[in-house]
Amino acid sequence: MTSTVVVGAQFGDEGKGKITDFEAEKADLVVRYQGGNNAGHTVVVDGKTFKFHLLPSGAVQGKRCLIGAGVVLDPRVLKEEIEKIGEIELGIDPRVQIIMPWHNSLDGASEARKGDKKIGTTGRGIGPAYADRASRCGIRFSDLIDEEKLKKRISEEFPIKKDILEKVYGITVDFSEESVFKEYSVLGQEFKSMLSDVSLEASKALNDGKNVLFEGAQGTFLDNDFGTYPFVTSSHPIAGGVFTGVGLGIRKLDKIIGLVKAYTTRVGEGPFPSELDGELANQIREAGGEYGTTTGRPRRVGWLDLCILRTAVRLNGLTDIAFTKLDVLSGLDKILICTDYEIDGEKFNEFPHALENFAKAKPVYKEMSGFKISGKEKSFEELDEKAREYVEFVEKELGVKLSFVSIGPGRKETIQR
Ligand code: IMP
């Protein structure tokens, strides 16, 4: 039996899809524990690209996939993704919160009202859906699949949300209580057979010695508590989120794989000390295809930042690191790594808890030689010596083995160490 969690160690988009897919091959069960269709996982198999927002990446492997209570689910997106993939064995926890049309409208309206103080959300209704969960007025999967309950819950929620949208934000609501019920009750009936107590199913699978893979979305520094609040998402991507997001007692997870991209990217607003601009940023952005899978927004790009990574190792208890997109840096003359921050003249080597300090952190860089990667290297030893130096330096600084080094988008372009 192994329990494995795959978690983003930076700001999301570290290339989790590929490693999750890799790990899913060995799994009996793949479980998502947080987030919603704000995520974007890309998996390339035999030259075919699969993009998911909501379904666990394990879906490509034909494995049974579960959506845990910590997820917010947009049934319209679920329908689309199921149609795209065809066959899927999916279980959805009754406690999963449903993203309703008013959540999308509220997300957009609240961002627009914030103006230049906006978070830069994906606009998928994630924050408002989690806010309703905390306010105890969310609609859950158990409501969605029961027509009577759904009707009642929509009749309770719709007038309030309509008032907020129209009276607070001055937005015209283009859906009615009836139209929402009509559409969502059909979706609910379609997904009814997928009901599963995910907490029970996942616990049983672990107790029965099965291999369970927990799939995180977003990244450590988008965690609602431990990230760059308020420039964060509304769930808990960190590994601890597995226990509350699935409903498991605290237990040792065998492998906690942190995904680390060989450089840093971020979408949305918020401080980013090692951020690059100009030609070099464009070059890396283009080479790495750094455009959001969900929104298509160009990602902000910067050098690798060891300070946030040291914190990510600690917050997640990482046992392994999967180092991704090393090939993207191929051909650069020199590569910088942020090893420390200087904040008000003092040196720090971890992520500071105060956002204002993170915002004024000046990166202290170590310069390393550039390298070339062809993508055809089959082992670590075959890599350019300077590329190995880069990997080994990061490994030494973080004290965690870089067990996977990814040198291209395909499944085969992964070196296991
Ligand atoms: P939300 O999750 O849509 O509310 O967005 C909150 C913040 O998290 C924004 O900065 C988004 O760009 C960011 N975010 C959400 N999901 C992802 C993701 O999967 N990858 C990277 N950033 C994300």
Q: What is the pLDDT of residues 15-34, one digit of tens each?
A: 988 898 889 999 999 999 99
Q: Which atom of ligand 1 is nearest to the CA of 123?
A: 3
pTM: 0.96
User: What is the per-residue pLDDT across 233-270, written as a single tens digit (0 to 9) for each?
Assistant: 999 999 999 999 999 999 889 999 999 999 999 999 99
- Residue minimizing CA distance to atom 5 of ligand 1: 121
Q: Which atom of ligand 1 is nearest to the CA of 121?
A: 5
User: In whole angstroms, how large is the CA radius of gyration of the chain?
Assistant: 21
Q: Which of 277, 220, 229 is nearest to 14 (CA)?
A: 220
User: What is the per-residue pLDDT across 341-361, written as a single tens digit (0 to 9) for each?
Assistant: 999 999 999 999 999 999 999
Tell which one of 7, 34, 38, 231 to mutate to probe ligand 1, the residue whose CB is within 8 A of the most ligand atoms: 38
Q: Which atom of ligand 1 is nearest to the CA of 35?
A: 2
Q: What is the pLDDT of residue 411?
A: 81
Token output for 115: 């103006």
**Cα gap 358→16, rounded to integer Å:** 25
Helix (H/G/I), strand (E/B), else coil: 309:
helix
Tell which one of 122, 221, 294 to mutate to probe ligand 1, the residue whose CB is within 8 A of the most ligand atoms: 122
Mean pLDDT of 12-17: 92
Res 43 pLDDT > 80? no
Q: Which atom of ligand 1 is nearest to the CA of 13?
A: 20
Tell which one of 104, 218, 225, 355 to mutate to probe ligand 1, the residue whose CB is within 8 A of the most ligand atoms: 218
- Residue minimizing CA distance to atom 2 of ligand 1: 233
Q: Which CATH number fits domain 97-193: 2.60.40.4070, 3.90.960.10, 1.10.300.10, 1.10.3720.10?
A: 1.10.300.10
Q: What is the pLDDT of residue 200?
A: 98
| Sign of torsion over alpha carbons 16, 21, 23, 27 | positive
**Cα gap 56→66, rounded to integer Å:** 8
**Amino acid occupying residue 187:** L
CA of 267 to the centre of ligand 1 (A): 7
Q: How many CB atoms are closer than 10 A to CB 203? A: 17
CA of 265 to the centre of ligand 1 (A): 12
Q: What is the pLDDT of residue 44?
A: 76
- Residue minimizing CA distance to atom 12 of ligand 1: 268
User: What is the per-residue pLDDT across 92-133, written as a single tens digit (0 to 9) for each?
Assistant: 999 999 999 999 999 999 999 999 999 999 999 999 999 999
Res 283 pLDDT > 90? yes
Mean pLDDT of the chain: 96
Q: Which residues line ligand 1 (CB under 6 A)?
A: 11-13, 38-40, 119-122, 124, 126-127, 217-218, 222, 231, 233-234, 267-268
Q: What is the pLDDT of residue 42?
A: 78
CA of 386 to the centre of ligand 1 (A): 33
CA of 9 to the centre of ligand 1 (A): 14
Q: Are 406 and 341 in contact (CB under 8 A)?
A: no
Tokens 């046992």, located at residue: 319
Res 1 pLDDT > 80? no
| Sign of torsion over alpha carbons 127, 133, 138, 144 | positive
CA of 246 to the centre of ligand 1 (A): 21
DSSP H or E run through 391 = helix 385-398
Q: Which atom of ligand 1 is nearest to the CA of 107?
A: 4
User: What is the per-residue pLDDT across 129-184, written as a single tens digit (0 to 9) for each?
Assistant: 999 999 999 999 999 999 999 999 999 999 999 999 999 999 999 999 999 999 99
CA of 126 to the centre of ligand 1 (A): 9
Q: Which atom of ligand 1 is nearest to the CA of 39?
A: 19
Q: Are 324 and 406 in contact (CB under 8 A)?
A: yes
Which sequence positions are flagged as catalytic? 13, 41
CA of 233 to the centre of ligand 1 (A): 6
- Residue minimizing CA distance to atom 1 of ligand 1: 121
Tokens 């105060």, located at residue: 354
- Residue minimizing CA distance to atom 9 of ligand 1: 121
